[in-house]
Structure 1
Amino acid sequence: MTPDLILEGAVWLSLGCFGLSLLLCLYRVVFSTALPDRILALDTMTINVIAVFVIVGIAEGTPVYFEAAMLFAMVGFISTVAFAKFLLRGDIIE
């Protein structure tokens, strides 16, 4: 087996695993009754999307996906902090 074939198989396997994880988190967001569970599922979805961006960047060999993953990570962190602050205080802006 060539290294390119092994890399391609690993990329497809990892994309399938992260896709399944995204679907399970989406199920948790839609059918959960508690707001903290939904926030945690959205944060987990953010992490999974970052991983998908990095995997696609490795497969394509272009740095554009890595920059998109970095931007998505920053926005995901800010949104998680905002959700948590809203959950604790009921207000985001003081």
Structure 2
Amino acid sequence: MNQLLSASYTIIEIATIICLAAISVSLILLVYRIITGPTSADRAVALDSVGMNMMGMAALTAVLIPTTKINDVILLIGILLFIGTVAIAKYLEKGVIIDRDLD
């Protein structure tokens, strides 16, 4: 039973490291898309995907490091990502982020 538990920990650790490597490659490709994106909408989608990948990297780090503090970081990244996505979408649609009606 102890050997089975040790083997499962090893398998989880190896799978997590492989997933971290795959997300790192994805981040490199997304940074390329942000720099050379043909339109602003492509850049916005790539930036949103970078945030999602950062959440994934934080979640995989939470699997490797046995602590509950990283879960708060994942939630914070998600909230900031949502606010940023809404701001970028509003900027792309109207050209301004904050409407100032001085009536």
Task: Sort the TM-score into its range (normalised by shorter chain).
Answer: over 0.9
Q: 1:32 aligns with which of 21, 31, 37?
A: 37
Normalising by structure 1, report the TM-score: 0.96
Cα deviation, residue 33, structure 1: 2.2
Aligned pair 1:15/2:20, yes or no?
A: yes
Q: Which has the larger radius of gyration?
A: 2
Q: How many residues align?
A: 94
Deviations 1:46-92 (A, max 9, x none): 00000000110011011111110110110011001000000000111
Equivalent in the alignment of 2:74: 69
Alignment of 1:47-66 (within 5 A): 47-66=52-71
Counterpart-to-counterpart distance in 1, 2:27 and 2:71: 19
- What are the ranges of 5 or more consecutive residues in structure 2 without an aligned counterpart? none
Q: What TM-score do you get using the length of structure 2 for normalisation? A: 0.88
* Identity score, percent: 30
Report the equivalent of 1:3: 8
The two structures, once aligned, show a CA RMSD in angstroms of 1.0
